[in-house]
Chains A and B, each alone.
Chain A
Amino acid sequence: MGAIDVMMTTATNGSSARRLFVWGFLALTPLWIGAVPTGLAYGLAAREAGLTLSETQLMSLAVFSASAQISAVSLIDERAPVVMLALTATALNAHLLLLGLTIGRTTRASRRLRLAAAFFLTDGAYGVALSAGRVTLPSLLGAGISMFVAWNIGTAIGATAGGALPNPRGLGIDVIAPLMFLVVLVPLVRTRAAVQAAVVAGVSALCLARVAPAGTAVVGAGLLGGIAGALVAGRGCADLATTIAGGKGEAG
């Protein structure tokens, strides 16, 4: 019996957990059509920024966060220090803390299963797991691992192809980074608070970049934008806050 089997058996009925895991894995496979090309684009951008094949792949295996990885590639290109890479990655994944709180309140599982599920927690996996009507950690884990496989296949293809390109910067491959940020950003800017956060962050980034390194400007503008958006948070955001802070859990 594998490690995942052991974790899931301790969480709930073994065969039921296994079915949920397989269901989650298969339910996410339609998203591979987006995950593989996006991973490929990350692989190309990372090699263009100077990362080796092993560093590029290791980042997808160990970090497994599209926005954090692309931000790292972009900031490495700007020669930002590691602490700024870490702070930016934290800021970009801040909402996963809230997602984790919501999931944690509505599911019962062993500590080991939570430790495993946390590594594979992404927006996409959560959305797929929620589509069943109720999020369970085995289905979340299955969906997350499915996304992980697709993301790493795409990375491997892109990193290998990126190493074979004679002059990636001459081809403008670094344009991929802002395009990938847009892919993640555009669906999120749906509320007045989000628009406010984006406007303040954009203006702040331009101002801060004149007096500070790129990494500092990104982290500073991210915090300023987040606070500004929260100050004018509309009804939708307030509802989210009430839901999570009040412990009712949107997944239940």
Chain B
Amino acid sequence: MNGIGAVLVMATVVYAVRLGGLLHAGRSLPAAWVRVLHLVPVATLTALVTISLAGRPEEAGLRLPAAVVAAVVAYRTGRAWLCIVAGMTSYWLLRLV
């Protein structure tokens, strides 16, 4: 499948998830399902971060510290752009060392 096809498939599933709740507001989900659905994004994001960082082991000494700096900035400020700038700046500075 080409890139446009992949985009359209993704668009369809994301829209279906968003629409599902709005259209079926009268239904109740079991509490266990609610807990899992609430936590799956957290777990999936963590898995993505882990695999992204572990995918380039030769650069672990640069990427891990940069990720730590970015995480601290995200925690302290909550500002997305500042987190990305801090992380990228740390990464580039470490490459110069």
Which residues of A approach B to under 8 Å, CB–CB? 33-35, 37-38, 41, 51-52, 54-55, 58-59, 62-65, 67-68, 70-72, 74, 76, 78, 82, 85-86, 88-105, 111, 114-115, 117-119, 121, 172, 175-189, 193-194, 197-198, 200-202, 204-206, 209, 214, 217-219, 221-230, 233, 237-238, 240-242, 244-247
Question: Interface SS of chain A: helix, strand, loop or mixed?
Answer: helix
CB distance from A82 to the nearest CB of B (A): 5
Minimal Cβ-Cβ distance residue in A for B91:
A175
CA distance A38 to B25 in the complex (A): 32
CB distance from B12 to the nearest CB of A (A): 8
A179 in contact with B46 (CB, 8 Å): no
CB distance from B94 to the nearest CB of A (A): 10
4 residue pairs, one from A and one from B, having the closest CB atoms = A100-B21, A225-B43, A104-B25, A222-B44
B81 in contact with A214 (CB, 8 Å): no
Question: Interface SS of chain B: helix, strand, loop or mixed?
Answer: helix
CA distance A117 to B88 in the complex (A): 35
Q: Which residues of A contact B22 (CB under 8 A)?
A: 100-101, 103-104, 114, 117-118, 121
Task: Give the interface residue-count category, chain B.
Answer: 35 or more
Q: Which residues of A contact B92 (CB under 8 A)?
A: 172
Q: Which residues of B contact A117 (CB under 8 A)?
A: 22
A229 in contact with B21 (CB, 8 Å): no
Show 6 residue pairs from A and B whose CB-CB distance is below 8 angstroms, ordered by the A residue.
A63-B10, A100-B18, A179-B87, A204-B47, A221-B50, A224-B43
B74 in contact with A183 (CB, 8 Å): yes
CB distance from A167 to the nearest CB of B (A): 14
A237 in contact with B38 (CB, 8 Å): yes
CB distance from B27 to the nearest CB of A (A): 8
Q: Which residues of B contact A175 (CB under 8 A)?
A: 63, 66, 87-88, 91
A181 in contact with B54 (CB, 8 Å): no
A209 in contact with B51 (CB, 8 Å): yes
Q: Mark B1-34, 1 if CB is under 8 A from A, else 0.
A: 1011111111101110111111111111111101
CB distance from B62 to the nearest CB of A (A): 8
Minimal Cβ-Cβ distance residue in A for B37:
A94
Minimal Cβ-Cβ distance residue in B for A120:
B18
A240 in contact with B34 (CB, 8 Å): yes
CA distance A90 to B8 in the complex (A): 14
Q: Which residues of B contact A89 (CB under 8 A)?
A: 10, 13-14
B42 in contact with A179 (CB, 8 Å): no
**Max chain A C-beta neighbours (<10 A), residue from B10, B15, B18, B42:** B42
CA distance A58 to B83 in the complex (A): 26
Q: Contacts A178-B63, A188-B42; is A114 near B17 (CB within 8 Å)? A: no
B54 in contact with A86 (CB, 8 Å): no
Q: Contacts A59-B7, A105-B25; is A241 near B14 (CB within 8 Å)? A: no
A187 in contact with B78 (CB, 8 Å): yes
CA distance A17 to B7 in the complex (A): 32
B84 interface neighbour in A35, A85, A183, Cβ under 8 Å: A183
Q: Contacts A89-B13, A101-B29; is A179 near B39 (CB within 8 Å)? A: no
CA distance A194 to B35 in the complex (A): 10
Q: Contacts A96-B18, A197-B42; is A245 near B31 (CB within 8 Å)? A: yes
